[in-house]
Amino acid sequence: METIINADHFIELEHRHGAHDYHPLPVVLERGEGVYLWDVEGKKYFDFLSAYSAVNQGHCHPRIVNALQKQAQVLTLTSRAFHNNKLGKYMEYVTKYFDFERLLPSNTGAEAVEASIKITRKWGYTVKNIPSNKAEIIVCSQNFHGRTSTIISFSSDSESKVNFGPHASGFITIPYNDLEALEAILETHPNIAGFLVEPIQGEAGVYTPDENFIRKARSLCSEYNVLLIADEIQTGIGRTGSLLAVCGNCSCAGDCERQENSYTRPDILILGKAISGGTYPVSAVLCDSSIMDVIQPGQHGSTFGGNPMACSIAMEALEVIRDEKLTQNARHLGELFRTAMQEYIETSTIVLKVRGKGLLNAIVINDTETSNTAWNICIQLKENGLLAKPTHGNIIRFAPPLVISEDQLYECVEIITKTLKAFEK
Ligand SMILES: *Cc1c(COP(=O)(O)O)cnc(C)c1O
């Protein structure tokens, strides 16, 4: 006799056998296509998280899946002890795509952030001549750069760090979007090697800084001979309506002479998530030779970094971004989304504001940080066929795959506003 396996069964299995490291929405997914997901009971949803912006190209994109299948049949992993026939091509492709001279391959976002910290420190000692072990990196409060023990050392989220010490030193925290604080530290601290920053703080609740923040931070970093390190793991690759969030108002998706537009060039660019379309763990650090060449054989490495699967999948995933004009779509639909939400907010008591760029947006719920309202709204959104999750307390992020169409977007606005109306006071 066939047993009926429902969602509770799978949730219970995870709960019984897994680490309790996440608090997921109670939905068990088994299939995805484009902007849609289906759960084990066959219910269909719009995905408004996109695996934290990893699935920008949509679920199971046929071209990316094909690249995976083709590569899986011939070669999956060699390690870097030997060369493979995909890594060089990939490095050439990605460095051209983003206009940097060199690429360091890795797998997860946190791993790429770690590598960028090592590169920055070593550059500080060997190029800037900072005294041994004195290098410092400036970071922003409310940052999210990953979960390793070094990275959580400079998190301002106590849940992420309490009881995980001793924490790593060498990091100085300033408020986000505060150029005066940045300059004050640069003026008084001669041993600063880098400034690590998210051009928009995604996890913190989609905090979009002032228009000129990154550009001015760039000139301060240049003035004080400090590396500007942009963590675009969440904001990069079309998500915010430009190829990178540091491209500002340019929506050419990388085909222009970026320096002539609003592009702010970081010294180090960190990518992850959507570089593979969520099909495989791929991340990368990009910078020019004058910085990357501080790393010599034996000083860094990763068994899986730069494997032929990752290279083939990521090249196809980046081709899809360009061919399908997903950056331009994100820009256009993002504007429509915020306009529609803004219209709703005019008469709403439950939503305070909508903010964001491109298709990385969030609404702020009119309740305390510790209330369950945002969570309860997300549960109801799920019932109504749309999956989203609170970021911090009372903030809900809305980040659909960039392949979403205008009709689908308006259908989602309907679901969201209908759901919110039930929570109006
Ligand atoms: C997701 C994310 C990371 C960490 O990436 P993992 O792949 O989860 O290690 C780092 N920085 C930012 C901005 C992110 O959004």
For residues 124 and 113, give the distance between their C-alpha atoms in angstroms, rounded to a whole number: 16
Model confidence at 250: pLDDT above 70: yes
Q: Strand 268-271 relative to strand 227-231: parallel, antiparallel, unpaired?
A: parallel
Model confidence at 5: pLDDT above 80: no
Residue 198 Cβ inside 6 Å of ligand 1? The answer reads: yes
Model confidence at 256: pLDDT above 90: no
Domain ranges for the chain: 7-57+326-421, 63-323
For residues 254 and 276, give the distance between their C-alpha atoms in angstroms, rounded to a whole number: 17
Mean per-residue pLDDT of the chain = 95
CATH T-level assignment (fold) for domain 7-57+326-421: Aspartate Aminotransferase, domain 1 (3.90.1150)
Residue 110 Cβ inside 6 Å of ligand 1? The answer reads: yes
CA 73 to each of CA 159, 243, 303: distance values in angstroms, whole numbers, following the listed order: 43, 31, 20
Same fold, 7-57+326-421 and 63-323: no
Residue 146 Cβ inside 6 Å of ligand 1? The answer reads: yes
Q: Residue 403: pLDDT band by 50, 70, 90 thresholds? A: very high
Q: DSSP letters along 91-160, please?
A: HHHHHHHHT-SEEEEESSHHHHHHHHHHHHHHHHHHTS-PPTT--EEEEETT----SSHHHHHT---HHH
The CATH number of the structural domain formed by 63-323 is 3.40.640.10
Rounded-to-5 percentages of helix, strand, coil across the chain: 40, 15, 45
Token readout for 188 is 């008084």
Instruction: Look at residue 252 in the predicted model and tell me its pLDDT.
Output: 63
Which one of 144, 149, 196, 271 would you pick to mutate in the ligand 1 pocket, going by the greatest count of ligand atoms within 8 A of its CB?
144
**188-225 pLDDT, tens per residue?**
999 999 999 999 999 999 999 998 999 999 999 999 99
Dihedral class, residue 141 (left if φ above 0, else alpha if ψ from -120 to 50, else beta): beta
**42-92 pLDDT, tens per residue?**
999 999 999 999 999 999 999 999 999 999 999 999 999 999 999 999 999
Share of residues in the chain with pLDDT > 70 (%): 96
Instruction: Look at residue 409 in the predicted model and tell me its pLDDT.
Output: 98
Instruction: Look at residue 251 in the predicted model and tell me its pLDDT.
Output: 63
Which residues participate in catalysis according to the annotation?
144, 231, 273
For residues 399 and 354, give the distance between their C-alpha atoms in angstroms, rounded to a whole number: 13
Q: Report the separation in Å between the CA atom of 270 and the middle of ligand 1, taken as the mean of its atom positions.
A: 10
**310-366 pLDDT, tens per residue?**
999 999 999 999 999 999 999 999 999 999 999 999 999 999 999 999 999 999 999
Instruction: Look at residue 248 in the predicted model and tell me its pLDDT.
Output: 83
Which one of 233, 237, 285 would you pick to mutate in the ligand 1 pocket, going by the greatest count of ligand atoms within 8 A of its CB?
233
**Rounded mean pLDDT of 231-242?**
97
For residues 206 and 395, give the distance between their C-alpha atoms in angstroms, rounded to a whole number: 9
Name the residue at shortest CA distance from atom 7 of ligand 1.
Answer: 109
Residue 58 Cβ inside 6 Å of ligand 1? The answer reads: no
- 106 near 283, Cβ under 8 Å? yes
Nearest atom within ligand 1 for CA of residue 113 = 10
Instruction: Look at residue 209 in the predicted model and tell me its pLDDT.
Output: 96
**Rounded mean pLDDT of 138-156?**
98
**95-114 pLDDT, tens per residue?**
999 999 999 999 999 999 99
Model confidence at 24: pLDDT above 90: yes
Instruction: Look at residue 249 in the predicted model and tell me its pLDDT.
Output: 76
Q: Residue 369: pLDDT band by 50, 70, 90 thresholds? A: confident
Q: Can you name the residues that pair with 268 across neighbouring β-strands?
A: 229, 287
**288-317 pLDDT, tens per residue?**
999 999 999 999 999 999 999 999 999 999
